[in-house]
Amino acid sequence: MDKIWLKEYPQGIPAEVDIHEYSSLRDIFEKTCRTYGHLPAYSNMSVSMSYRELDELSRDFAAYLQHELGLVKGDRVAIMLPNLLQYPVALFGTLRAGLTVVNVNPLYTPRELEHQLRDSGASAILVLENFARNLQDALAKTPLKTVITTQLGDMFPAVKSALTNFVVKHVKKMVPAWDIAGSVEFRQALRAGRQHQLKDVPLTHDDIAFLQYTGGTTGVAKGAILTHGNMVANLQQVSAWIARDLEDGVEIMVLPLPLYHVYALTSNLVFFKIGAHNVLITNPRDLPGFVKELKKIRFTGIIGVNTLYYALLNTPGFSEVAAHTLKLTSAGGMAVHRAVAEKWKQVTGVAIIEGYGLTETAPVAISNALNIKDWTGTIGLPIPSTEAVLLDEQGREVPRGEVGEISIRGPQVTRGYWNRDDETALAFTADGWFRTGDMGFMNEKGYFKITDRKKDMILVSGFNVYPNEVEDVIMTHPGVLEVAVVGTPDERAGEVVKAVVVKKDPALTAEALIAHCHKELAGYKVPKIVEFRTAPLPKTNIGKILRRVLRDNAQAIQSN
């Protein structure tokens, strides 16, 4: 194919990368720890952990999983944590043991947890005590054999650890009562693992590193299989894309997005690979606290989504942050708005680098280059060793400049979905193109721009919401006759969830329906807007509700 975008690559960016330099993520981890052992690897709440300490602690966790739990290559371990120092210890420990990581959103309800844990077949889980109650409620219907619990301050020095855990549990009362028989404390697991030798487990590109859950055409979450090969490839690709402007062992990267999200996960692995000091932000929604943390460090890079950058720009004190050290501002997960990009550049002096990808592409596939001066309005160019085309409904490439479905091929692309051959078949063309579900076009220089989504997916602050799942929950309310869920534009979140409902019970209120949803859905999936209608919802001649009609009507009303 004619890769016209290569002519737009900045000087020094290769067309292809060596995906065989490393056989696994473990190889990258071990090399990085050897090279940068004395440097800080991660910080959280002003407590730092060096690469050498991370090497030792993750080794202990890996040995615990192997010897105390008897887990063997390919077994799945779930991690249900916000951004804490425990996360990289558990992440790298699981991978070093030859096991597969299943990232779990800590905000999931028992219903959502049950599905993901059953589907993945996870044998063990590490969970922050703050979320243990929801896990307790789901536990009986999952295959979990071991629950490892941790408290917020467990990786802090003794005095700060005890004080933090006391305040969180007894003063702020952030830990709902829970009781899981046979659970093991994280620090206890590390002590037990320290008594054992770590077994060497051969790993290749074909071995599964992550089951990263995402929605689908049905809205039922399914696990995208991301192998060590997929992840190594994307780390090599992204490293090549940003290497020109970043220095090994020097950078300080701020990570406010949750590491269980694939964009933050891979970004962090790239920064880890170059020996960066990674600053974990546990609660970026506390914007005054976040800005206070930023003022303490001379950070050189930050990742985020449009809504986060918008919120920071509107938080008092952000303009005083020492942004003169900033080299890289990366954005993904949702479109960056021109007004946000221009204001960020004005305040920090650095352009936001917008990229594009999906869970299934590990995730980066297309990105703007680091040498852009201002907002481009595009998602950029296919990155090294990546092909991108625009296909019509029959899988044929559309003429240049016309709209088609963005489709990707490359070594970072998943081989399919866990135990879902049907969904895998739907996602790929016969000649191996992964169909993203996003519609767009490519201009004469090879820059891609998204125009619409083929699927009904709603994008809330970078998180995917699938209407079918929300509709299924709403329909369990006895007061609902029929419902359609659509996305509607929102200045802060990009989109929010809107439910259009026909009542069965005239007394049903929006507040009651939203409260019902909160019991079954993570907060970002819960409708922010409920519209009641008396007439039946618009449908096709076979009775399928026309979400697009409702969505278009909502957008037309908002624009008037």
- What confidence score (pLDDT) does residue 560 get? 46
Nearest one of 44, 41, 454, 413 to 229, comparing CA atoms: 413
Nearest one of 390, 116, 153, 365 to 262, comparing CA atoms: 365
Count of CB atoms situated within 10 Å of the CB of 553: 13
220, 469 contact by CB (below 8 A): yes
Domains and CATH numbers, the chain: 49-203 (3.40.50.980), 386-453 (2.30.38.10), 458-559 (3.30.300.30)
Token pair, residue 422, equals: 């049907």
Bridge-partner residues for 77, per DSSP? 101, 124
- What confidence score (pLDDT) does residue 217 get? 45
404, 418 contact by CB (below 8 A): no
Predicted TM-score of the model (pTM): 0.89
- The CA distances from residue 550 to 426, 495, 534, in Å, are 26, 15, 14
Q: What is the SS3 assignment for 254?
A: strand
Count of CB atoms situated within 10 Å of the CB of 289: 14
Alpha carbon 502 to chain centroid distance? 34
pLDDT along the chain (560 residues), means of 10: 94 96 98 98 98 98 98 98 98 98 96 96 98 97 97 98 97 97 98 98 98 73 96 98 90 96 96 98 95 94 92 92 86 86 94 95 97 93 98 93 95 97 95 94 95 81 88 92 91 92 96 96 96 89 74 59
- The dihedral of CA 274, 279, 284, 287: what is its sign? negative
Separation of alpha carbons 485 and 537, rounded Å: 11
Q: 502: part of which helix (H) or strand (E)?
A: strand 494-503
Alpha carbon 436 to chain centroid distance? 16
Q: Nearest 5°: phi and psi at 467?
A: -55, -40
Report DSSP state, residue 335.
Answer: P
- What confidence score (pLDDT) does residue 120 get? 98
pLDDT digits (tens, 9 = 90+) for 431-468: 999 999 999 999 999 999 998 777 788 989 989 898 88
